[in-house]
Structure formats: structure tokens, C-alpha cells
Structure 1
Amino acid sequence: MSSENGVGEGGAQGAPPEQLALIRESVRKAKEPRAKPRTWRGAALAERLPVARVLVDKGVLHLDRYFDYAVPADLDADAQPGVRVRVRFGAGRGRVREGRREGGGLIDGFLIERLPESDYSGPLAALAQVVSPERVLSAELLGLARAVADRYAGSLADVLQLAVPPRNARAEQRPSPEPLPPPQRPQPGPWGRYEHGGAFLDALASGASPRAVWNALPGPEWSDELARAVAATLASGRGALVVVPDGRSAARVDAALTALLGEGRHALLTADAGPEKRYREWLAVRRGSVRAVVGTRAAMFAPVQDLGLVALWDDGDDSHSEPHAPQPHARDVLLLRAAQDGCGFLLGGWSCTVEAAQLVESGWARPLVAGREQVRRAAPLVRTVGDLDLARDEAARAARLPTLAWQVVRDALRQGPVLVQVPRRGYVPRTACARCRAAARCRHCSGPLEARDGGALACGWCGRAETDWSCPECGSVRLRAQVVGARRTAEELGRAFPAVPVRTSGREHVLDTVPAAPALVVSTPGAEPVAEGGYAAALLLDGWAMLARPDLRAGEEALRRWIAAAALVRPQEAGGTVVALAEPTLRPVQALVRWDPVGHAVRELAERVELGFPPVSRMAAVSGPRDAVITFLDAVELPAEAEVLGPVPLPVTPAGSPRRTGAPPPGEHWDRALVRVPPGRGAALAAALKAAQAARMARGGSGGAGSAEAVRVRVDPPDIG
């Protein structure tokens, strides 16, 4: 058990007699000889450092501490700090025995350190088993995990479940390769297009730790630029870590690194590799055989030795936000690593988030951008079609696409493939009144009415079929699609261009690449395949649907998705054109036309400063049944500067939807309150929420996912709309 400092009697003058008695008892126990176990049930214990301090794998906040166990002599050699162990840890009649009594079941844990004595005066249970002598938990990784747990009001055990992959015995038995010598310093290559690109690589190669926010130019060169940053860091004799949002992006950086440095210098950590191969690659990194890592979200904890650079691509992608408790974001984890290890930091993307702009505004990082002339040469031509244009366009009223879009598609198909970005997948997900445009709602639960795959009308929340709908606003019985899905769009385009092949890319089937031949590629955001030589044109449909989301980040996210698609189009000099169906006067649309995501992020940040919204302030969300949320907030000792917003009702989770942490169980009504604190008080807020949640769990009020007592706490929620 963790040690607690004794309090002298002289420090409690004027205290009540009961408190003085407790203090005297604490002092007396502190002066007692500490437990020095020598035997356990007749078995000899380790002569040197016979006490093991263990973190048990129980992700509950009121047990988020270390527990002491005796080390049997036969486990002395293998029971080293960082290994996996199994210990007795059980509960009897609702009371935790803390692993010190004879009973209890076996549970996994990590051995944190060996000690000569324990601060626990009772008898210690012995370690039951050393699962493997492999020391998977380093002191650096433990410190990072503790920092992440404290920032997100979570438990250390939960963070380590994210940081250390499950054991695979066959992978441990295979030796890792010998480390290769540092490579040669790479040439700047495409980094020469940026104002300080060459200087950034020189700093990494010389052993410095520059910090930069990189606004990448459109095109496929970003993966080669990341590879050169990694190579420059390896040339200095240090390690590098790159985190990307998905497996497709990881494969591109992997290919770029292999082409630049050859095989054996980096590890690829993605879920697609399978448990054995992924654990083998992770062990090679932990053992120091490999000094560079490229991977998806879980790789943010990769134990790279002598870390010289951490890099994150496209930090606005929601794939970087971990869905499992305590739900850390890869950007924040890498920021913690940069501060902990004193290494370089690179945050890159075609677009720019408000958090990235804040890093530059505060002076913590430097901007790494290209000049305006270089941006104009690399970006495609962007044209817009607004509401007034649509109102005057007879073709737009009869079909979904205005005349300008049809002309661009027709001309571009003579040169190569055309990308069509659709906000939603499927056929006709959402419907509205054809006369007054009011959203069609279910009469039973007010959920949205949908016609999935062209079938019968049904509620998207409760699933009830609707056979006799009429608009409550105007009485009309005619419906129209609010946002037409990707499959319906593909059908319409296929009829309009019968001689052109139409391909779709979405959640069910995501294409990685498409050939340079003329074709229509209909894709949902984030699933756009890369075209050989770039797309000849791109259509960004239903832009209003992205901008109309009731979310603080709606404009930022819409711009990020538009730029991600437009960046795959050929430069304007090569005839590349992008047509966006969105109101041209809106700020995100103007930023797209000018190709100025940094300016958009800076203006968004200025507004957040005025309104006190994240990332300027720190926020936490408390969700659950209304009474439980109110009771919990009453019990929390919040910082004096804290402001509570709400609680307000959350949307009901549709039946059959996947369970998301922090969301109400399907069919249940939850409320959510937001707690806001000014800059510098985020740690105090997280500590207060963690203490209150731990006390609540210790009293048995944690509840299950569907329990009326369930309360969920999330620090830095991504969605506060």
C-alpha cells in the first residue's frame, strides 16, 4: 500500500480531542517496526529486497494505488521491476482484502519496484507467479501512464491496458534483431518547399529538439516528408515515433520509410498486423532493436528508447481519440511525452486545428508553413455554388447537382478520375418535408425518420415503422431527402454518365487507391482513396449538412474534411478543380477557397478566447441519470473557479447502435453537465473529479452500464455541442 506521511502532534494545536487521538495513533503506528517478511507458509523469501510493490490490474479508481507483496525465494531472480505477475486479490462480502490475506482469486498485475521493507504492518501475501521475465514496463512508460491517468481523471491500470499490449508467449521466445547503426542524414527533398523545412531537418539531425506545427502542402508528398523527419532523427542516434489516424496512412508512411532507409529500421504497429506480429514488433522496440515506430492510435505509448521526435498526422481526426477509459487523445499524450522526454515535436496535417493554433500562439511551437506562392502552385482551383446559384439553376432544382458541377465533371472525366465526397453513407439516411423542409420526426420518440437502402420509412432511434406520415408544420405528406447517401449518389451519377465506371468507398468497403483512368469515385469523408497522379476534379456535395451540425467544431471539422479531399486533386496548373456546394460567404468555405486553414484556426481560437471555450479553458463532462449527475456534482469539491453548465438532456442512443463510453445505454434518458475551469486549473479539476468518483465507487455506487446509478466522467470531451 502506498506510504502516508506521519503528522506530528505539534502540527495539530487546537484540534478536537478525537482528531488528536487519531493523530497520536498514526504517529504510534509510524514508529512501529516495518514488516520484514522472511517466510511465507514455511517457504523462504528473498533475502534481498523481499517486498514487491505491485499495481494490480483493477481499473477502478478507489484501488488506484500500489499493493505490497512478499517475494518468494524461488521467484527472486524473475521478479524484477517491469515484469507481469499474478497475485492473490479478492473480495469477501463486499470488502476488498487488498491482497494481504490468504483468500482471494488470482489477478494480473505489474511489479513496480522491489523494496527492503513494507510500510504495511500486517502479514503480506506472496507473489503467486511471475508470468514472464520480460520487463515490459519501463520507468519512462510508467511515468507517462501516470501523467495520462492524472490528466484524464482515470486509473493507472486502465492506461497501462492501453499502453502495454497483451502477452504472446511465442513472440517473447523469438529473439529480436540486432540494432542497426544510425543512417546517413537525409536530403531535404520536399521539405525544401517550406520556409524553414530544411532548418527543421538540420535541427533534428544535429540532436536538437525543435517543436513545430506543420501545415502540409496538398498532394501525396506528406508521407515522404514524415519519413525524412524520422530519418533525420535516427541519424542523430535517437528514436522517433509517428502516429497516424488509420492503417492506410500508416502503410503510406511505412512504404516511404522503407524506400528511404530500407528494411529493419522501423516497426509498424497497427491492429491489422495481428496480436503475435504486433507484440513481436512492440518487443523489438522495447528491447531497443528498433528505434523508430509508425502506427495508429495505440502506438502513442510505444516504448521507443532515447526518444528524439514524436510526430502526429491530422490531429483533428476523431480516430486519435481513444474510446476506452480514460479516453486520452493521441495529441495530448504526445505533448506529455515531448515534455517528459525533452524531445522534438511535430504536429502536421493539411488542415489546422484550434489546438494546433494555440500551440503556436503560446510560443510553445513554431509554425512550419510554405509561402503563399508555393501554396497557390500546389493547391487546386476551388469554386463554390451557394444557395442563390442553386435557386437560379433549373438543373439543380431538377437534380442534385448544379450546372457548374456537371460541366466540371464532364470536362474532368476526359483527363482522369473524379472524386465525389458525400457526407453520409447509404441510400437516403434522413428525410424532411418536401414543402417546408422541416425534419421528419417519429411520433413516438421524436427521433429522425430514415429510409435506409431505399426501403420503408422507419425511426432511426426506436426503429418503429412509419406508414402514414404527415408534416405537423404544414400538413404535407410528401418527403424529400435531407442528405442523400453515397450509394444513392453513385446511382444518380451512373445514370448521368452511363459510359463511365462508378466506384464507391465507405465504411463497408474502403478503397486504398484507384487507377488514373476516367471514373467517378463516390466516397464518404475519411474514406477517399488516393488516385494515381491525382484526381482531375472533386465535388464536395451537401456542404451545409456538415456546417449545420450542432457542435462547436462544426466549421473546423467541415473544413478539415473538405481540404482532405481537395488535397488529393491535381494542382491548378495541371487543371485540378474542386467544386464545393456550400454558401461561399461562410468562413470555412472562404478558408477553403483561399486554402488558408491556419487563418481559419487562428480566428476560431480568438473567438474561443472571448467565449472561454476549449482549448482556452479545460472542460469535463459528467453524464448519467439526472438525479445521479446532480448528486455527484454536489459531492465534488470543485476548484473555486469552476463553472457548472447544465445538466441538459442527451440524445437517446438509437436501438442497436454500438455502445460508446459516456453515451447513454440504448433507450435510456441521460443528462450531461459540463464543468469548465480557466487555464492552469485543469489538473485540479481532474483530481477533484477523480477523488469524487473514487469515493463513490468505494461506497458501491459505480453501477453498471445500464444501471440507474451509472455516472460517467470524461475530461476534455471532443463534443460539447
Structure 2
Amino acid sequence: MADPDEHPELLPGMARASVKASQAKARATRARKAAEAEPAAVDPVAQVLVDVPLAHLDRLFDYAVPAAMGEAAVPGARVKVRFAGQDVDGFVLARGERSEHTGRLSPLRRVVSAEPVLHPEIAGLAAELAERYAGTRSDVLRLAIPTRHATTEKEPAPPTVPWQHDAEAGEQAWAEHLPGPAFLRHLAVGGSPRAVWAAAPATDWPTLVAHAAAATHASGRGVVICVPDGKDVARVDRALVAVLGEGQHVTLTADAGPARRYRDFLAVSRGARRVVVGTRAAGFAPVRDLGLVVIWDDGDDLHAEPRAPYPHTRETLLLRAEREGAGALIGGFVRTVEAAYLLRTGWAQEIAADRAEVRRRVSVQVAGNETDRDVHARGARIPREVHLLVRDALESGPVLVQTPRLGYVNVLACERCRTPARCDVCQGPLALTGPATPPACRWCGTVDEAWACRECGYRGLRAPVLGDARTAEELGRALPNTRVRTSSGDTVLATVSAARQVVVATPGAEPVAEGGYAAVVLLDTWLLLSRIDLRAGEEALRRWADAAALVRPGGRVVAVGDPAHPTLQALVRWDPAGHAERETDERLAAHLPPASRLATITGEPGAVDDAVTLLAAPESAELLGPVEVADGESRVVVRVPRAEGADLSRALGELQRLRSARKLDAVRIQVDPPTL
């Protein structure tokens, strides 16, 4: 009997058409498979970095490049490959003529995009960061390369816009920070100077950064500028427009949206823009011919990446500067220990204003003498002299009041015996959310209108710590007919006018006043200093100085606290360099960073013990712990001298690969964590 598939004319009309269609489809499938089997004529082997989270698979895999994908599968392109029985993403890192693999190579499944988004210098940077922080390249690249937006990718690159460099304006802007003008001249002729910059108070630092970028851009090179948050990005963006003009730079921030972020990324990747400003991710921007990296306020914890492998923006930029021969500028109103160490080792030079210029710009004092004379003022949170200062300053402009706590009254205690007020249900702390609300638990929300102290039975409550809302309420009562505004939490003001007003803000949320503040008041300084943290003093000084620097030239700053405390004394003298040197000496004596390299291993107690057993650390390594931390986890600290930091990173990386291959319980490894 004849086979209908071979003789479709024997079938009825509808069936005959169906068979012909299936035959055509089969022929197309065979042709496609034949084309896939045919290798590319040039460089038929692609080395692909597969996007998998397993540390032991963090290496390149060879795939065959079909002839049909020969032109699209360029180095840096996104591809789909078959891996472990499923289709996964990957990047082509290189093409070659042959593979060391002796068996048959699997072909690339698909070229997602022929756009080369992973440039060789960024791929090399990702590899070094992964090794330094004991992570994987895939994790680093997730931080570096934004999600693809297909429609945006089809758009042409923006045209280049001509501009004129005003070298004289740049030198005038930097004239009070020496040797700032020489730094700009070095950049303009193609040099790569490296400097740690201590900005004087009342300095318009975004404008100075913009002039440094302009000098570098004038030499035909690119610039990467990283700042802590979107508010700072907006300030630098405006300064770059004022100095460079429109169309010379892009901003890279997480809240820009997928389309705009990818559009700006492509403008940099294609070489249409060479000046980039943004937050952490901007440190990976593939700027062509990189000439300068800038980080502002490198002590801000927003520069520490919260996702694995937890790289710090400062280290990312300094590594890029070393790899690509670029200049570096580490700036801030205070100096971190890491920046001071760069000066001590000679890696960078100092840029700063002289003492006379600093004294001309700001006067800082600590409110404490009056409480010694007046016994009734000793318990006052805002001394009388501060109230008088605020009243006088309001005659000439706005006043900034910094308070370190958000909310109304976040902590309550017995008014008689000072025992902390706790919830009867969950033992959480009681707090007040407003002037007319009863105390309620911050953990479970239970309201306790009839609270009584468990120790003495007294029903009165006091507030040892007040938030910004309560502070604003107190100032509003003390200063009638004066507008009092708050900037904190979800409601952060970027700028305020020069009108007569009081602005109460938490650290980091201080708005910039038009023309500067007439006075700045720092409340509850003891609270920042009482943190149990290696960087408590450094962080307190940074937060105070960032607020104090917002005064207008000749403005006054008053801090309420202990006048004898060395950190407050550093603020009074405006001596961030001396404070950083003292902190550095203390850490060197205690064998703490930057004199050593630290790593923490955190996880379930059994997993941490196994990790310590498997870790082939250098002989000089010290193991501190384990100690119990939150949620039933334990933590071990591994410390080695700074010279053996690379050996420790390699050992931790090998530990990650070994545990991944053996499918052991995961542990979290952080190298040089920002805090302990």
C-alpha cells in the first residue's frame, strides 16, 4: 500500500495540504539544523561567561559559533547557551579558532543582542573585583550592566555636541584649595594625578568637581564621578551643565527607569558621551579612554554595595584607575582612614584650603559652658544659648537643625527610675508617634494606655531620645511665627529658599539652602558617638561636617555635647586631617584596617565551622570567634596583614568554589566589611 506521506495526491484535499505543510516545516527544520551545524568561517569558537550563581562554575566555557551567528556573536554580546539542561544567559568574552576541549562543542542557542555591552576593561575589572571580594564575576556583572531594553537599543547614539573649555574659570574655582589649579592643569595636558581633597566648609563642591571633569574632558579622555545618592547626583548634574553645557554627560541612577538608564548606558558604551555621574553602579560605566575617577564622600555607607560580593565604590574606582592609568580624586568635607592611608603611602597627594581660609568661612563652638554655670540647664536638650543663636540667625536667613533620630519619640523610659518602657505582649520598646497618641509598641503595635513601670510602679514617662518630628514641634513652640520644616525619611527636601525658616533634618537628609544657612545646630551629638562601632568617631564627624559645611561663608555652627570629646574638638578646629591621622595611628597599633585585611564568614554555626575547617588561610591569619550574631547565626573574623590581603582573598575564593562544588550550606563572606 502506498505511503500517504510520500504520495499526498492519494489523500483528500484538506489532508493533502496539511501533509505538504508538515513536509515544508520538516525541510526548514533540517535546513536550520544544518546551518547550526555549519561553524562560522572565522573564529568558530566562542568563550562564554555563563550567568550561573555557583562559584565553582565561575569560568569560561567554549561554545561553537554557527555560521548564521558569526557576525552577531561579537565579544561583549549577550547570548543564550545550553547549560546543565536549560537555556541560560551569558556574555561572549572572546572568539578564537580552536578550543582546548577535545569533544564536540555545543552551539550557541541564540544571540540575544549583537550590541557589545561588556567591554574588555569592564570584564577585567569584574574578574579582579570577584577575586578581591571572594565572589563570582556573574554577581559583579549584575551590578555593572543594566537590563537590556530592546526598543532603546534600536535607537541611534546621540550626536556629539561641541563645547569650549574655560580653563581660567576652573583655576579660579579651585584657587582656594591648593594645589588645586595645578591638579587641573595636569589633567588638561593628559596627565593622571591622584589626590585626596579636603573641601573647606561652604564650598560649592559640585562646581569644583565639574571643573575637574572639564579639564579631563578637554584632553580627550573620559570621567567617572560617583556620589552617595540621587540628591548629590542632581547637584553634580546641574554643575556639569553649567560648566560643560548640555549634551556632554549622562547620569546613571537606579531610579531613572529601565529605558532611560539603558539609553544613557549605551551612550557611554558607544562613545557618544565620556562624562558619567551616578551612584554605585556608575563606577562600572564603560567610559572610553578613562582619564579621571572621582568619588565624593567616600565614607558614606551608601558607597558600600549591599549585594554580593559587596564591593565598595572607592575600591572599585581606585582599581579602575590603576588598571586604566587614570587619575583619581577622593573628596569630602572629612577624610576617611582609607584616604589618609593613601596619603601616608604616597599613592596620592593632598589638596586642601589653608587654616586662614577655613576660619574665614566658618566658626564652630560646642554648647556646654552655660550648663556648667546654670544647674537648671544641665538637663536641657537645647541650651538657652542655642535658642538665642537660632533667634539671631533667623534675622538673616534660614537655620538648619540636625537631629540624629527619625520620628517623634522613639524611646520611652520611666520618669522616676529611668527603666526602659517595654511592651507587655512582646517586650518590644514603647514609643510615641504624635503629641496626642498613647504609647505603642514599635514591634507589634500594641497600644498600652495604662502603662506602669515594672520596677517602681510609676506611670510617668520620659523621652531620653527625641526624633525630628518632636524636635520640630519643640522649636515651633519656642519660635512663634517662624516656619519649621522637616527633612527626613520618605520626605527629603533637596533645596530650601533663603527665607526665614528652621529646617530640622536627620543626617544625610539636609537640604541645600539658597545662599547657605545662617547657622547650623547639631543636637544629641552623644547619640552618634555612643554607637558601638569601629567607625563611630569617623562617622559622627562626617555627618556633623556634612551639615556644618552647608553654612554660608562666615556662618556659625553650634554642637550640643561634651566640649572635651576629641571628635567634637576636631569639628571645632575643623581638622578632619588630624582626626583621620589619629584614627589611622590607633588602627595601625591595633592591627585593624587599613593596616590589615579583614573578612567575615557568617552563617549557621555548623556551616561556619565547616568553612573554617576548609579555609586554607595564610599562616599569619588570625581567627577571631566564632561569636553569635542575629537570627541564630554565628560569625568568624579572619585577619591577615595588609601585605597578605591578596592571599586571603584567593583562599576565600577557593573556599567558595569548594563549598559550591560539594553543595554545602551557604555562608556569607564579606571582605573588608564597612562595619563590624
Instruction: Tell me whether the two structures share a fold, i.e. TM-score over 0.5.
Output: yes
State yes or no: 1:672 paired with 2:632. Answer: no
State yes or no: 1:157 paired with 2:163. Answer: no
State yes or no: 1:219 paired with 2:198. Answer: no
- What 5-or-longer segments of structure 1 have no aligned partner? 1-38, 91-103, 653-667, 703-709
State yes or no: 1:531 paired with 2:513. Answer: yes
SS at match of 1:192: coil
1:415-458 per-residue CA deviation (whole Å, 9 max, x = no partner) reads 11111101011111123343454555668877654444565545
What's 2:622 paired with?
643
1:567-646 maps to which residues of 2 (within 5 A)? 567-572=549-554, 576-646=555-625
What's 1:87 paired with?
81
Measure the CA separation in 1 of the matches of 2:394 and 2:242: 32
What's 1:496 paired with?
478
What's 2:361 paired with?
378
State yes or no: 1:135 paired with 2:116. Answer: yes
Measure the CA separation in 2 of the matches of 1:538 and 1:565: 7
Measure the CA separation in 2 of the matches of 1:626 and 1:462: 29
Measure the CA separation in 2 of the matches of 1:636 and 1:463: 45
1:459-498 maps to which residues of 2 (within 5 A)? 460=442, 468=451, 470=453, 478-498=460-480
1:98-118 per-residue CA deviation (whole Å, 9 max, x = no partner) reads xxxxxx221111011112222
State yes or no: 1:178 paired with 2:159. Answer: yes
Q: 1:148 to 1:413 in 2, by over 3 A?
A: same
Q: 1:391 to 1:80 in 2, by over 3 A?
A: farther
Measure the CA separation in 1 of the matches of 2:372 and 2:524: 12
SS at match of 2:127: helix
Measure the CA separation in 2 of the matches of 1:388 and 1:443: 41
1:545-582 per-residue CA deviation (whole Å, 9 max, x = no partner) reads 0000000111111110001111111233xxx2211111
1:165-244 maps to which residues of 2 (within 5 A)? 165-180=146-161, 183-187=164-168, 188-244=171-227
What's 1:144 paired with?
125
For residue 715 of structure 1, the aligned residue among 668, 671, 675 is: 671
What's 2:23 paired with?
none
1:54-93 maps to which residues of 2 (within 5 A)? 54-90=48-84
What's 2:39 paired with?
45
Measure the CA separation in 2 of the matches of 1:469 and 1:683: 57
Q: 1:637 to 1:461 in 2, by over 3 A?
A: farther
Contact 1:59 1:156 in 2 (8 A): no
Measure the CA separation in 2 of the matches of 1:231 and 1:570: 26
Question: 1:715 corresponds to which letter in structure 2?
Answer: V
What's 1:266 paired with?
249
Tell me the CA shift for residue 182 of structure 1. Answer: 6.8
For residue 367 of structure 1, the aligned residue among 346, 350, 363 is: 350
What's 1:17 paired with?
none
Tell me the CA shift for residue 480 of structure 1. Answer: 2.3
Measure the CA separation in 2 of the matches of 1:338 and 1:285: 18
What's 1:306 paired with?
289
State yes or no: 1:519 paired with 2:482. Answer: no
Measure the CA separation in 1 of the matches of 2:466 and 2:447: 20
Q: 1:77 to 1:41 in 2, by over 3 A?
A: closer
Contact 1:387 1:583 in 2 (8 A): no
1:448-478 per-residue CA deviation (whole Å, 9 max, x = no partner) reads 5444456554555676766655365x77654
Of residues 217-226 and 342-351 in structure 1, the stretch that sits farther from structure 2 once superposed is 217-226
State yes or no: 1:555 paired with 2:534. Answer: no
1:388-432 per-residue CA deviation (whole Å, 9 max, x = no partner) reads 8278353563x5311111111111111111111010111111233
Measure the CA separation in 2 of the matches of 1:181 and 1:233: 15
For residue 659 of structure 2, the aligned residue among 690, 693, 696 is: 696
1:363-442 maps to which residues of 2 (within 5 A)? 363-379=346-362, 381-386=363-368, 389=371, 392=374, 394-395=376-377, 397=379, 400-437=381-418, 439-440=420-421
What's 1:256 paired with?
239
SS at match of 2:157: coil
Of residues 134-143 and 619-628 in structure 1, the stretch that sits farther from structure 2 once superposed is 619-628
Measure the CA separation in 2 of the matches of 1:351 and 1:698: 45
Tell me the CA shift for residue 61 of structure 1. Answer: 1.0
Q: 1:616 to 1:427 in 2, by over 3 A?
A: same
Measure the CA separation in 2 of the matches of 1:484 and 1:544: 13
What's 2:91 paired with?
110
1:372-396 per-residue CA deviation (whole Å, 9 max, x = no partner) reads 10111122x2121249827835356
Measure the CA separation in 2 of the matches of 1:263 and 1:226: 17
Calculate the TM-score normalised by the size of structure 2.
0.91
Measure the CA separation in 2 of the matches of 1:40 and 1:392: 94
Measure the CA separation in 2 of the matches of 1:184 and 1:72: 49
Which aligned runs of 4 or more in structure 1 are off by greater than 6 angstroms? 39-42, 442-446, 462-467
Contact 1:266 1:293 in 2 (8 A): yes
SS at match of 2:98: coil
Measure the CA separation in 2 of the matches of 1:436 and 1:571: 46
Contact 2:44 2:98 in 1 (8 A): yes
Tell me the CA shift for residue 698 of structure 1. Answer: 2.0
SS at match of 1:681: helix
1:177-231 per-residue CA deviation (whole Å, 9 max, x = no partner) reads 2334574352212200122111111110111110000001112421110000000
Contact 2:370 2:377 in 1 (8 A): no
Contact 1:150 1:686 in 2 (8 A): yes
Measure the CA separation in 2 of the matches of 1:180 and 1:42: 44
Contact 2:370 2:385 in 1 (8 A): no
Measure the CA separation in 2 of the matches of 1:644 and 1:447: 35
Measure the CA separation in 2 of the matches of 1:42 and 1:717: 48
SS at match of 1:690: helix
SS at match of 1:52: strand
Higher Cα radius of gyration:
2
Measure the CA separation in 2 of the matches of 1:636 and 1:475: 55
SS at match of 1:122: coil
Contact 1:215 1:350 in 2 (8 A): yes
Measure the CA separation in 1 of the matches of 2:316 and 2:647: 18
Tell me the CA shift for residue 302 of structure 1. Answer: 0.6
Measure the CA separation in 1 of the matches of 2:422 and 2:337: 35
Q: Considering only aligned residues, what root-mean-square deviation do their CA atoms show, in Å?
A: 2.1
SS at match of 2:534: coil
- What 5-or-longer segments of structure 2 have no aligned partner? 1-32
Contact 1:641 1:678 in 2 (8 A): yes
Q: 1:208 to 1:194 in 2, by over 3 A?
A: same
Overall identity of the aligned pairs, in %: 53
Question: 1:56 corresponds to which letter in structure 2?
Answer: V
What's 1:7 paired with?
none
SS at match of 1:570: strand
Q: 1:40 to 1:699 in 2, by over 3 A?
A: farther
Contact 2:409 2:470 in 1 (8 A): yes
What's 2:528 paired with?
546
